[in-house]
Amino acid sequence: MTNKLFNQVSGVIAVHLKGKNTEKVINMALTRGIFLWDIRRTADGIDCKVRNSAYEALKNIAEDNDFEITVTERQGLPFYKNVLKRRMGFITGALIFIMALYLMSSFIWFVNISGNNHVSQNRILLTAAKYGLYQGAAKWHFSRSEVEDAMLREIAELSYVQLDISGVRANIKVVEKILPRTDITGPCHIVAQKDGVVEDILVLEGEANVSPGTAVAKGDILISGIIIPKVISEEAGANEAGEIEDNNEPYEVRARGIVKARVWYEGYGECRLKNEKKVYTGKKRTALYLETPWRKFLLKGPRKASYPLYSSKTTHITGYTPAGKFGFYWVKIKEQAIKTTEYSEEQAVEIARSRAMKILTERMKETQKITDSRVDILSSPSDPILRVKVGAETIENIAVAQPIQTGRNGN
């Protein structure tokens, strides 16, 4: 088996020897280490096979002894070169087609979503695209587990996400959470949803637990849904038969009302008096490389960036074959420069204050308008960073319903 493989790799030549006393040629060849096999006698000579590397030596022996040697067949890898040369265009086209087909199958062309009823399909697609999964994305540019974890983390309404890759198709299966009802129809308390100082209280049903000027913390009961009747005197509570009625048992109601309180918010911002940042100058260059399993070839562009400060971005188009990884990649190089901006103390205070106000506004969301505010500068004049804290006071309704827990008095 090994000899046959070696013969095919090195090449085999079948020859016909013609002349008198052909055994002489065979004996001379064997004494010189030339291996002959498949020796058959014919009417005018003999046929045999010899390795390609020993053919010239056998030919010299035959010519020196006036024998005629004729090649009847050539076998093995070295003799396929001519065939390959004649069909090089076809072979090259077939290889390019196979590589193109493989590359095309390495991308996601269809994204299907199933299992969503309330979460929009567009929201799921945007979240998946944020972490690398989108129509046209390369399979090696995203991790299936990372996409699943990110979608569960960013879309709170989902309890389960499964991503399956089947060829060029990505199937996203989701299971939505069954959220509890937020509306309360049974007995409940009115509690504080924020810390604050009560400014005004309006009880529609229930019993007030606080009064204006009371400081409350988040979760404190403002209006109780458990009513405890007041003790009735014997004269007022006696019926016609002279018996005193016992109506002092507590009962539960659905508390309703409005509790307005003063609530405080804080925001923090800072600004450097001397700010340095990188900016693009507009100059850019692109280098194109061919990547093979053996080495990388620069096809176009600079091998090294000539800019002292730059940023680069690499884009790959790669395919994997039994021989290794093939593909192209582009390196886009953009020149950068350091831009220095210096602010006066007044300018820095204004910038830091606006940043702090932005954070404060985000925390307030859609609360009532600001009734009072203050700005505190936290840095000393020698500090390179000017820090500012902004406080704001609003008056808003902090009342929120909370079901009465069975087994507790709720006070």
pLDDT digits (tens, 9 = 90+) for 139-150: 888 888 889 998
Distance CA 352, CA 330 (A): 41
Distance CA 160, CA 144 (A): 14
Our measurement of the distance from residue 219's CA atom to the centroid of its chain's CA atoms, rounded to an integer in Å, reads 39
pLDDT digits (tens, 9 = 90+) for 259-309: 999 998 888 888 888 888 888 888 888 888 888 878 888 888 887 777 888
Distance CA 132, CA 127 (A): 9
Instruction: Pick the closest to residue 321 from 99, 54, 154 (CA basis).
Output: 99
Fold assignment, 110-176:
Ubiquitin-like (UB roll) (3.10.20)
Our measurement of the distance from residue 50's CA atom to the centroid of its chain's CA atoms, rounded to an integer in Å, reads 62
Where do the DSSP E strands lie in 76-218?
Answer: 110-114, 158-166, 169-176, 188-192, 196-205, 207-208, 215-216
Per-residue DSSP letters for 34-82?
--EEEEEE-SSEEEEEEEGGGHHHHHHHHHHTT-EEEEEEEESGGGGHH
Phi-psi region of 398 (alpha: psi -120 to 50; beta: other; left: phi over 0): alpha
- Pair of tokens at residue 349: 């205070």
Supply the CATH classification number for the domain 2-81: 3.30.70.260
Name the band, by pLDDT with cuts 50, 70 and 90, for residue 242: very low
- Pair of tokens at residue 41: 């006698």
CA 313-315-321 angle, to 5 degrees, is 145
Name the band, by pLDDT with cuts 50, 70 and 90, for residue 408: very low
Burial classification of residue 13, based on how many CB atoms lie within 10 Å of its CB (0-12 exposed, 13-18 middle, 19 or more buried): buried
Contact present, 107 and 138 (Cβ < 8 Å): yes
Q: Is the pLDDT of residue 93 over 90?
A: no
pLDDT digits (tens, 9 = 90+) for 337-359: 888 888 888 888 888 888 888 88
pLDDT digits (tens, 9 = 90+) for 99-136: 888 778 888 889 999 988 888 889 999 999 988 898 88
* The domains spanning 2-81 and 110-176 adopt the same CATH topology: no
Output the pLDDT for position 367.
54
Instruction: Give the start-to-end residue ranges of the domains of the chain.
Output: 2-81, 110-176, 275-341
Q: Is the pLDDT of residue 323 over 70?
A: no
pLDDT digits (tens, 9 = 90+) for 360-386: 887 776 556 777 778 888 887 778 888
Instruction: Pick the closest to residue 399 from 252, 221, 254 (CA basis).
Output: 221
pTM: 0.42
